[in-house]
Structure 1
Amino acid sequence: MNLNGLEIEIKRSNRIKTLSINIERDGSVNVIVPVDLEESKIMDIVKSKEYAIHKYITNNKELNKEHIDRKFVAGHSFLYLGKSYNLQIIENQTEPLKLYNGKFLLSAKVIAKAEDIFIKFYKKQGKPILEKRINYFKEFIKEKPNEVKIVDLKTRWASCTPLGNLNFHWKCFMAPPSVLDYLIVHELVHLKHLNHSRQFWDEVSIIISDYKTHEDWLRKNGVKLTLNDNL
């Protein structure tokens, strides 16, 4: 679907009853709709939201100007669970990367692969944290994911598949723990409501009453949760 020059992807699902508009971090827009909803009705609803969609995308472009391009050199800071740690290059370190005494210690031997090393660090350190918090929150939501992965989602922080699998971007572990908790709850609730209906947000708010604060934090600071311009 084309909305005055903006391409919008339409996705149909038999798990939802109402239309849901999603604007990704890269500005792309997709609309999840019930399988039997007529295209003319989809177009009418999306057109009624045209101003809000373009305003949101424009605001995001302004926020993206805050991007931080980190360099793998001594003294530059890198994020982990909402805190910033300076990088130190170590000549005779056997472990590629470790967090020690308030600093990221990177082996001089792996500087050429530093980007991949950091991503592996976030995935390895993030896995037990993710599992622990999912086990905690699933007791409130009464839903259990089939599988949980930490991957590169490109344009999303996290996702829930129709099969009940949850995916989280490795960048999530740069964010503060409270924001990570919000993302976990968001996706767990999607196991019950694969949309952004009123019922979905009502259930999220029962567990994370200030969820809008975390959404706003991600919108304003998400662009800073990165290693370089290509990620």
Structure 2
Amino acid sequence: MSSLALPDAVLERLQISSSSRRRSIGIKVGPDGVRVLKPSSVSRAEVMRLLQGRRHWLLEKLALQQQRSEERPDHHYGNGDSFALLGQQLTLTVVQNARANRVEQNADQLLVSLSARGRKPAPERVRELLCQWYMAQALAHLEALSRRYAEQIGERVASVKVKLTRSKWGHCSRAGDLQYNWLILLAPAPVVEYLVAHEVSHLVHMNHSREFWQQVEVLCPDYVASRRWLKRHGHRLVI
């Protein structure tokens, strides 16, 4: 069957790459479209036949991605814009021509001061400063919470890092290094606590067995609701 049988919505956003290490075809639908990873021995025609058989599934996934894109906040990074922090909504105020770049939280206000020396457009500078501020807040909060939870179960955290990741909210290595997506601080506090409980529990169980989820529940008794919230609303956590 010709690739033309696939809808334009799929063809226009289709990426196919090969790897000699792969043993099967993998299909992933994300914000960038449809990505196919195939073994080198598999032809493009075979991939197209597989995609044609899953055309309805692909269209449903692409529609979901479009819906999620429309649900993401459209920030303008100016006065009156709003950003969440552990469930609290903060209203942005931008001060121009300040002595230095600075971000401060005062109750439910988020004050961003812009130095007069900056050359980039103000919204771009505000966004950069907010990202830096949230990263710092996330590292402090997530490290303290991780070490506290680890101590509760008699485990040791080797290190805690934060970075911007595209697919995972957290990761735990066998060496005890924890990594989090700092955007999680935009979520309500119980959701953040669930994520930390999840990664710290991997210090005991490097899997998602029944014992692992029992360990998560010890640290975060209401984890089911928070896990569900993150799956449904995680795409909205953007700056």
Q: Given the two structures, how large is their TM-score scaled by the length of structure 2?
A: 0.68
Matched, 1:85 2:90: yes
Matched, 1:2 2:8: no
Cα distance in 1 between the residues matched to 2:218 and 2:33: 29
1:164: Cα distance to partner?
2.0
SS in 1 for 2:166: coil
Q: Is the 8 A contact 2:103 2:130 kept in 1?
A: yes
**For the residues of structure 1 that align with 2:113 and 2:90, how far apart are their CA atoms?**
16
Q: CA deviation at 1:24?
A: 9.0
Q: Does the 8 A contact of 1:76 with 1:86 survive in 2? A: yes
After superposition, give the CA deviation of every residue in 1:162-192 in whole Å (9 maximum; x if it has no partner). Answer: 3321001110111122111111110011112
- Give the AA of the match of 2:201: V
Confirm or deny that 1:194 pairs with 2:206.
yes
Structure 1 unmatched runs, 5+ = 8-22, 30-49
CA RMSD of aligned residues (A): 3.1
Q: Does 2:163 align with 1:179?
A: no
Asked if 1 retains the 8 angstrom alpha-carbon contact of 2:147 and 2:157, the reply is no
Q: Does 1:75 align with 2:112?
A: no
Gap regions ≥5 residues in structure 2 = 1-23, 36-53
**In structure 2, what is the equivalent of residue 43 of structure 1?**
none
Aligned to 2:182: 170
- Give, in whole Å, the separation in 2 of the partners of 1:211 and 1:139: 19
Structure 2 CA distance, aligned partners of 1:146 and 1:58? 40
Give, in whole Å, the separation in 2 of the partners of 1:209 and 1:25. 33
Shift of 1:150: 1.2
The answer (yes or no) to whether the contact 2:172–2:199 under 8 Å persists in 1 is yes
Contact kept, 8 Å, 1:78 with 1:87, in 2: the verdict is: yes
* SS of match in other structure, 1:91: strand
* Contact in 1 for aligned 2:88/2:108 (Cα 8 Å): no
Cα deviation, 1:20-65, whole Å, max 9, x if unaligned, reads: xxx9998999xxxxxxxxxxxxxxxxxxxx9xx98x9679634454
Residue type at the aligned position of 2:178: L
Whether 2:217 is the aligned partner of 1:212: answer: no
Matched, 1:105 2:111: yes
Deviation at 1:116, TM superposition (A): 2.0
**Would the aligned equivalents of 1:145 and 1:164 in 2 still touch at CA under 8 Å?**
yes
TM-score by length of 1: 0.70
